[in-house]
C-alpha cells in the first residue's frame, strides 16, 4: 500500500517542478508515454478498450506471484502519458492493495487543467477498470 502512496508522492513532486506551466506539463506527459513498454499488437482488440474514454485506451492485466502486471496504450500521445502514470502507480501491487488504493495524485497535479474535465472522466474510467481486474484476480486467488 505504501508503495502506491510513495509512487504518487513521487509524481506530485515531479509535477511540482514544472511550475504549473501547462506546455511543460504536456511535454513531460508525452515523454512519459513514450517510455511505456510496447503494447502487444495482438492485444490491441476491442475487448481491451476501456469504455468511457474520449480517445482509445487499451488495457490488459496479468497476475503472477501475487502481483498484477498492467499493460496499456492509447491512440493519443497525451492519453498514453496519463495512462502510463496510472500503470506506474498501480503496477506490481497485490490485488488487495489496488482495490484499497486511493488515487489522489490527479487532483494534486491539477490534471483537469491540462486535459479538461471530459478526459478526466476518462481517467476515472481507466482507474475503475484497473480495480475491476484486481477484484477479478482476488476472486480467483480466493477460489
Which residue from 117, 123, 10 is spatially nearest to 76, judged by alpha carbons?
Answer: 123
Least separation in angstroms between residue 52's CB and other proteins is 15
* Residues that are catalytic: 53
For 63, the grid coordinates are: 497476475
Between residues 6 and 31, which has the closer beta carbon with respect to other proteins? Answer: 31
Between residues 32 and 115, which has the closer beta carbon with respect to other proteins? Answer: 115
Strand partners, 72: 59
Q: Roughly what angle, to the nearest 10 degrees, separates helices 2-16 and 22-34?
A: 130
Contacts with other proteins, residue ranges (CB under 8 A) = 21-23, 26-27, 30, 54-55, 75-79, 114-116, 119
Least separation in angstroms between residue 79's CB and other proteins is 7
- Is residue 48 within 8 A of residue 65, CB to CB? The reply is no
Least separation in angstroms between residue 77's CB and other proteins is 5
DSSP string, 8-61: HHHHHHHHHTTTT-HHHHHHHHHHHHHTSPPPPGGG-SGGGBPTT-SS-EEEEE
Between residues 81 and 95, which has the closer beta carbon with respect to other proteins? Answer: 81
Amino acid at each position: 500500500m505504501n508503495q502506491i502512496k510513495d509512487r504518487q508522492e513521487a509524481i506530485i513532486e515531479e509535477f511540482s517542478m514544472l511550475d504549473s506551466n501547462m506546455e511543460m506539463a504536456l511535454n513531460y506527459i508525452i515523454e512519459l508515454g513514450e517510455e511505456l513498454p510496447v503494447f502487444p499488437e495482438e492485444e490491441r482488440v476491442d475487448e481491451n478498450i476501456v469504455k468511457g474514454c474520449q480517445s482509445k485506451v487499451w488495457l490488459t492485466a496479468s497476475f503472477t506471484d501475487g502481483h498484477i502486471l498492467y499493460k496499456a496504450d492509447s491512440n493519443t500521445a497525451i492519453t498514453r502519458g496519463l495512462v502510463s502514470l496510472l500503470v506506474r502507480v498501480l503496477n506490481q501491487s497485490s490485488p488487495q492493495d489496488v482495490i484499497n488504493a486511493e488515487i489522489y495524485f490527479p487532483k494534486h497535479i491539477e490534471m483537469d487543467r491540462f486535459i479538461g474535465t471530459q478526459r478526466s472522466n476518462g481517467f476515472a474510467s481507466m482507474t475503475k477498470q484497473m480495480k475491476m481486474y484486481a477484484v477479478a484476480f482476488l476472486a480467483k486467488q480466493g477460489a
